[in-house]
Chain A
């Protein structure tokens, strides 16, 4: 099932089996994409949206000198450019960061969902509102936090999102990003990010090495980042089938 991570563990917006099946049926094709490939250019006329199944993707804006600011990072389960459905063109580019697998959902299929399944339509809207909440948190990060706080906040956020997607145990997760990516996310130079990562490591907070993140002291990392996961709307106690329960 390609949509199993979409809105997984989100408070009040988890898809039921029928809605998930409907969303699965709306997928026109599955694509595998190489790392660092641009899927959508700003200004393109769009008639489809992209659900990320595996890998990491970004949304970014380049300045006039070609220097890049990442304005969003997407993890598996994210409907990366669902906002393109009403907007039809985007004001930013969308690209893969790692190799990625995506599901392509035509906008006409979304038309049908909104027409026939308003509850599912509301949940799609919910997912774009979480995107907006994450943007607000990114504004806070860049506007109020120092260099260590920015990197720590991004790592805390990514850990929480990947836990929600079932891709982190809360202490360790794979993050196929480079220090340059972290620079473009946090508005820092490579040299600065390198020093921040050393600081986090030497202070026993977190280690980022070979695309693996290990959180050594979650409480202190969260405190250093001023990270409050409320904006991610994650259900702290999601309903889970018992591991001993046999499906009928």
Chain B
């Protein structure tokens, strides 16, 4: 049985996006492995930035990277 400390945690390392044959490949963080069209990648990127800003505000006094 897994201990509570072994459950998946929020990733503190970024995924790596690369261009390949006219597509965007996102590897990581963790087991993420996604291929997107440039448009989908652009919109995902914008959505991520927007959500990241909102999440920073939600953190309040908490440091980024604290357990969630």
Q: Which residue of A lies closest to B21 (CB)?
A: A191
**A20-28, A56-64, A138-146: which lies at the interface:** A138-146
Contact of A191 with B25 in the complex, beta carbons under 8 Å? yes
Interface of A is mostly: helix
Contact of A188 with B33 in the complex, beta carbons under 8 Å? yes
- In the bound assembly, the distance between CA atoms of A145 and B35 in angstroms comes to 16
Contacts of B27 in A (CB 8 A): 146-148
Interface residues of A in 118-155 (CB under 8 A from B): 142-150
Contacts of A142 in B (CB 8 A): 31
Shortest Cβ gap from A183 to chain B (Å): 10
Q: How large is the interface on B (under 10, 10 to 19, 20 to 34, 35 or more residues)?
A: 10 to 19
- In the bound assembly, the distance between CA atoms of A146 and B32 in angstroms comes to 6
Contact of A194 with B33 in the complex, beta carbons under 8 Å? no
A209 CB-CB contact with B under 8 Å: no
- In the bound assembly, the distance between CA atoms of A146 and B25 in angstroms comes to 12
User: Contacts A146-B27, A147-B27: A191 and B33 contacting too (C-beta < 8 A)?
Assistant: no
CB-CB contacts of B27-58 with A at 8 A, as 1s and 0s? 11011110100000000000000000000000
A176 CB-CB contact with B under 8 Å: no
- In the bound assembly, the distance between CA atoms of A147 and B25 in angstroms comes to 10
Contact of A188 with B21 in the complex, beta carbons under 8 Å? no
Contacts of A143 in B (CB 8 A): 31
User: Contacts A191-B21, A194-B21: A146 and B28 contacting too (C-beta < 8 A)?
Assistant: yes
* Most A CB within 10 A of own CB, among B20, B28, B33, B35: B33
Contacts of A147 in B (CB 8 A): 25, 27, 33
Shortest Cβ gap from A154 to chain B (Å): 13
Contact of B31 with A145 in the complex, beta carbons under 8 Å? yes
- List B residues at the A interface (Cβ < 8 Å): 18, 20-21, 23, 25, 27-28, 30-33, 35
Q: Which 5 A-B pairs have the closest CB atoms?
A: A189-B35, A147-B33, A192-B35, A191-B23, A191-B21
- List A residues at the B interface (Cβ < 8 Å): 142-150, 187-189, 191-192, 194-195
Contacts A142-B31, A188-B33 aside, 16 further interface pairs with beta carbons under 8 A come to A144-B31, A146-B31, A146-B32, A146-B33, A147-B25, A147-B27, A147-B33, A148-B27, A150-B33, A188-B35, A189-B35, A191-B20, A191-B21, A191-B25, A192-B33, A195-B18
